[in-house]
Amino acid sequence: MENKTVYLNGQYLPLNEAKVSVLDRGFLFGDGVYEVIPSYSGHLFHFQEHLQRLENSLAGISLANPHTREQWLDILTPLLDANFDQYIYLQITRGAASKRDHAFPENIPPTVFAMCSAIVPIAGLSNGVKAISMDDTRWKFCNVKAITLLGNILHRQEAIDQGCAEALLIKDGYVIEGAASNVFAVIDGVLCTPPKGHDILPGITRDVILDLARKNNIPCSEDKIPFAALQKANEIWVTSSTREIIPIVELDAMPISDGKPGPVWQAMNQLFQAHKQALL
Ligand SMILES: Cc1ncc(COP(=O)(O)O)c(C=O)c1O
């Protein structure tokens, strides 16, 4: 195991010395939230937006934010290495109470953990990947970035078991998002993505893409996408902080258009890479 330095409850420790109690509510109940923030050459990408989402997630589970944004930046900065593209994983749980009880404990400090990992480009992602569609079996607060990810894990594993990279989740006949990504489709020349709400995680990458589309006159819409329209889309992409923009070239064993990444993806990927560079 790589013995890098991690942050736990006010201390910087080697990973193999960072320990939490078995009574921690993250371990017992999945009672916590997390964030994933990319860092390019030591610069945290859209830090304020990630921190805003963290604040929203904490409010969504009635857990106080233990730190100001300035304190978070001070905590995270020593974990970064400017020589690599990395991502910060940070997690806050409701802490370790003296006994297991569903009700929120009183006067217990939260458990705060953060570590940094390399972003390893996955070979072939830009050639496109395969996806399956599945009924969305998750809970009703998908806008909260909760550590309770069993639903997402089971969806992603089903995709992997079927030789695919992602599961696109369908609810009431509409595509919602991926197991660990947001979804975009190019339909009749318009870049479409489902609207924000309780059904999806409000992805930071999603917002960056919409902003880039609007600034570059790429027609776009935030509207519900019927599954039947998705199946006939010219392009489908999934987006996330660690994988950026990945074209889906096959859905449920059927090719999307000619089975190759499309021109709107090519254009958006270039805009996205240029946007990353411009922030350095
Ligand atoms: C369920 C889900 N939706 C969307 C996303 C994309 O969010 P972001 O672009 O902020 O990484 C993720 C990221 O992991 C996710 O887990």
Q: Hey, whose CA ends up nearest to atom 16 of ligand 1?
A: 180
Do 237 and 260 belong to one domain? Answer: yes
Residue that terminates a domain, selected from 118, 148, 166: 118
Please state whether the predicted TM-score (pTM) of the whole model is above 0.95: yes
Active centre residues (catalytic): 145
24 Cα to the center of ligand 1, angstroms = 25
Do 35 and 83 belong to one domain? Answer: yes
Q: What is the pLDDT averaged over residues 226-238?
A: 98
Q: Which ligand 1 atom lies nearest to the CA of residue 36?
A: 11
Q: Hey, whose CA ends up nearest to atom 4 of ligand 1?
A: 181
Do 87 and 129 belong to one domain? Answer: no
Reference 157, options 134, 177, 176, 127; nearest CA is 134
Amino acid in position 252 = D
183 Cα to the center of ligand 1, angstroms = 10
What is the Cα Rg of the chain in Å?
19
107 exposure class (CB count in 10 Å sphere: 0-12, 13-18, 19+)? exposed
113 backbone dihedrals φ, ψ, rounded to 5° = -130, 140
218 backbone dihedrals φ, ψ, rounded to 5° = -90, 115
Q: Hey, whose CA ends up nearest to atom 15 of ligand 1?
A: 180
Q: Which residues line ligand 1 (CB under 6 A)?
A: 36, 152, 177, 180-182, 201, 203-206, 239-241
Q: What is the mean pLDDT of the chain?
A: 97
Do 198 and 129 belong to one domain? Answer: yes
Query: What is the per-residue pLDDT across 33-69, written as a single tens digit (0 to 9) for each?
Result: 999 999 999 999 999 999 999 999 999 999 999 999 9
Do 130 and 239 belong to one domain? Answer: yes
With the most atoms of ligand 1 within 8 angstroms of its CB, the residue from 54, 136, 147, 182 to mutate is 182
Q: In Å, how far from its chain's centre is CA 130?
A: 19
Reference 212, options 273, 272, 278, 263; nearest CA is 272
Do 270 and 153 belong to one domain? Answer: yes
Do 156 and 40 belong to one domain? Answer: no
Q: Hey, whose CA ends up nearest to atom 14 of ligand 1?
A: 180
CB 34 within 8 A of CB 50: no
Do 137 and 153 belong to one domain? Answer: yes
In sequence order, what are the beta bridge partners of 130? 250
98 Cα to the center of ligand 1, angstroms = 33
Strands 111-118 and 5-8: antiparallel
How far is Cα 245 from Cα 206, in angstroms, rounded to an integer? 9
Helices (H) and strands (E) in the chain, counts: 7, 16
Query: What is the per-residue pLDDT across 114-155, written as a single tens digit (0 to 9) for each?
Result: 999 999 887 777 899 999 999 999 999 999 999 999 999 999
Residue that terminates a domain, selected from 118, 133, 153: 118
| CATH number for the domain harbouring residue 38 | 3.30.470.10
Residue that terminates a domain, selected from 84, 103, 118: 118
Query: What is the per-residue pLDDT across 144-173, written as a single tens digit (0 to 9) for each?
Result: 999 999 999 999 999 999 999 999 999 999
Q: In the chain, how many domains are there?
A: 2
Query: What is the per-residue pLDDT across 8-36, written as a single tens digit (0 to 9) for each?
Result: 999 999 999 999 999 999 999 999 999 99
| CATH number for the domain harbouring residue 243 | 3.20.10.10
Q: Which ligand 1 atom lies nearest to the CA of residue 207?
A: 9
User: 186 falls in which pLDDT band (50, 70, 90)?
Assistant: very high
CB 245 within 8 A of CB 121: no
At 1 the pLDDT is 58
Range of the domain at 199: 125-278
How far is Cα 73 from Cα 39, in angstroms, rounded to an integer? 12
Do 226 and 154 belong to one domain? Answer: yes
142 Cα to the center of ligand 1, angstroms = 10
Cα 149–222–202 angle (5° rounding)?
30
Do 87 and 153 belong to one domain? Answer: no
Do 65 and 154 belong to one domain? Answer: no
At 253 the pLDDT is 98
241 Cα to the center of ligand 1, angstroms = 7
